[in-house]
Structure 1
C-alpha cells in the first residue's frame, strides 16, 4: 500500500510515557510511579471543575454546544477581546494545524527556533513546507530577523516560554521584532506556559490583547493543559484579528471539543485563586531544583514555566539517566532527540521532587 511521500520525512511525536505503560513494562505498582515528563499540573485541576463536570456526565447523548459560548465568554472577559477574536481547538496543537493549512503550502517556508515544540515542524511537513531553524538554542531575535529577511517565511513561530527549555523572550524585544515583520507573514506567539511567566516576571510576559491591538498579523496561542490542570480534557485556543480567525474557522471540524471539556475549561477559568496558588507552589519548589543543580554542578536553564531543563556534563548521559529513572518508577523527559544532553523535569509536589533528587543522586 502506498502512502503520502511527505510522511517519509516525518518522525512520530513521542509524548511522555504514560503510567500504565511503565506498569506493564517494569511491573511497578502504580502508586510507586511518579510522572514528571509532560508538564501537567501536579496539583490537578480546581475542585470546582470536578464538581461541575460530574453534574453533566448524564448528558453524553447530546452533541456539545458548537458555539462554545460559555468558554468564549470566559476568555473574552479574561483577555478583554471580542468573541470573533477567538477560536477553540482540541489542545493548542489543533489550532497550530489550522494555522499551517490556512496560511502555508508546499512552496512555503516556516521559521522556528532550533530547539522548540516539535509539532511546529511536524505540521509544516504535513503540507510539504520547508522548515527553517535558527542555530542558537535560545530565541535570538536578531538571528530570527536575519533569517526572515533572507528566507521570507510565511509563518514565524515564537514559543515563549519555550518548550522544552523553559526560557522566555523579553516582551519589549518581541514587540520590536514583530514591528519589523511584513504584514503578510503570520507571527505565532505560543504562550502555553504564559500564566507562569506572568507570575514570575512581567517583563517577559505578553497578553493577547496588546498583541492583536497593535498587530493584525499575530496570533496568540494558549492552553488549559498546563496551569489549569486539564491536560486530559484537551482544550486550547487561539486569539487574533477577526480576519485570521474567520479563515481558521473554515478548517475547524464541527463539535471538535467535548461537552465535558468545554465545561471543565469554563469553570477552571473562573477559579483564579486555585491556579495562582498552584503557580506559587511551583516556583517555591523550583528553588529546590536550582539549589540541587548548583550542589551537583549541573547547568540549569532559568525557567519561566512549570518545568526545569537540566543540562548534564560530558561524563553524564541524558538517555541513560532517563532510562535508569524509568526503571525506578520515575518518568522524566530525555532531550537527546533535540540534540541536547539534557533532561526536562516537571516541577512536581514536594514529595515527588524529593524522590527525584534522591533517585538522581544515586544514579549520577
Structure 2
C-alpha cells in the first residue's frame, strides 16, 4: 500500500507517558505515581464540572448540540465577541488542523520559532508544506520579521505564522506589544495564529503578556486559540476554540466534522465557564509552588527558563543528560517530559501539588547524586 509522500517526513507526536504505563512496566501502585509530564491541572477540574458530568452521564448516548450554542454564548460573553466569531474544536489542536487543511498546499510554507508546539509542524507537513523556523526558541520580533521577508523575497512567503504565547514546551511568553508588531509586519494574505493555550497563567503573572481575542479582532488574517485543557482542568475532555473574524470562521467551519466534541465534553466546558473561582485557585496553587522549582534549579547548578505557564523547563549542562534523568525518574514513578526530541538537553515539568512537588524534588536528588 502506498501512502502519501508527505507522510515520509513526519515524526509521530510524542505524548506524555501515562500513569498506566508505569504501573504495567514497574509494578508501582497508581497512587504512588507522580505525573508531571502533560501540563494537566494538578487540582483536577472544578467539582461543579464533575457533578455536571455525573448528572448528564445518562445522556451519553445522545449526540451533542452541534451548534454548541450554550458554550459559544458563554465564550462570547467572556471575550466580548459574537457567536459567529467562534469555532469549537476537540482541543485547540483540532482548530490548528482545520487551519492547515483550509490554507496549505505542497507549494506553501509556514513560519514558527525554533522550539514550539510540535503539532504546527505535523499538520503543515501533512499538507506537504515547508517548515521555516527562526534561530531562537523565543519569539523574537526581529527574527520573525526577518525570516518572513527573506522568504517573501524568495517568493516563498509563509502562508501561516504561528505565535505560541506562552510557548510550549519552553514556557517563555511574548508580550502583546511584540505580537502586534509581528502581525503588522506580515501581509494580509498570511494567516497569523496566536496560540494562547496557557494564556490564563501569563495574564495572571504579568499584564503585558495578556492577549485577549479582542486585541486581534481588528485583523482579518489573525485567529486566537484557547483551550479548556490547562487552567480549567479538562485535558481529558478535549475542548478548545478559535476566535477570529466571521468570514474566516465560516471558512474553517467547512473543515469541521459534525459532533466533533462529545456530549459530556460539551457539558463539562459549559460548566467550567461558570466557575472562574476554580481557575483563580488553580493559578494561585501554581504561583505558590513554581518558586520552589526556581530555587531548586539554582541550588543544583542548572538553569531554567522563566515560565509564564503551569510548567517549568530545566536546561541542563553537558555534565547532565536529560534522557538519562527522565528515564531514571520514570522507573521511580515520576513522569516528566524529556525535550531531547526538540534538540534540547532539557526537561519540562508540570508544577504539581505540594505533595507531588515534594516527591519530585526527593526523587530528582536521588537520581543526580
Looking at structure 2, the residues matched to 330 and 238 of structure 1 have their Cα atoms a distance apart, in angstroms, of 34
Partner of 1:188, secondary structure, is strand
Assess if the C-alpha contact under 8 Å between 2:49 and 2:268 holds in 1: yes
**Shift of residue 61, structure 1, vs aligned partner:** 2.2
- 1:268 is matched with which residue? 272
Corresponding residue for residue 319 of structure 2: 315
Q: Quick check: 1:224 aligned with 2:225?
A: no
| SS of residue paired to 2:313 | strand
Q: Distance in 1 between matches of 2:296 and 2:97?
A: 39
| SS of aligned partner of 2:131 | strand
The residue that corresponds to 2:159 in the other structure is 154
**Residues 1-364 of structure 1: matches in 2 within 5 Å?**
1-151=1-151, 152-212=157-217, 214-364=218-368
Q: How far apart are the structure 1 equivalents of 2:228 and 2:100?
A: 21
Give the conservation status (yes or no) of the 8 Å contact 2:111–2:132: yes
Residues 81-128 of structure 1: CA distance to partner in whole angstroms, max 9, x if unpaired?
000100000001100000001111111110001100000000011010
Could you tell me the TM-score, scaled by structure 2's length?
0.97
Q: Deviation at 1:21?
A: 1.1
CA distance in 2, matches of 1:66, 1:294: 50
**CA offset at residue 5 of structure 1?**
1.6
- 2-structure distance, mates of 1:315, 1:37: 23
- What's the RMSD between the two structures over aligned residues? 0.7
Runs (4+) off by over 6 Å:
none
Gaps of 5+ in 1: none
SS of 1:232 mapped into structure 2: helix
Unaligned 5+ runs, structure 2: 152-156
Q: 1:119 & 1:59 partners in 2: Cα distance?
A: 32
User: Normalised by the size of structure 1, how large is the TM-score?
Assistant: 0.99
Q: CA deviation at 1:22?
A: 1.2
Superposed CA offset, 1:116-147 (max 9, x none): 00000000110100000111121111111011
Looking at structure 2, the residues matched to 12 and 61 of structure 1 have their Cα atoms a distance apart, in angstroms, of: 32
Alpha-carbon offset, residue 63 of structure 1: 1.1
Give the Cα separation in 2 of the matches to 1:156 and 1:99: 11
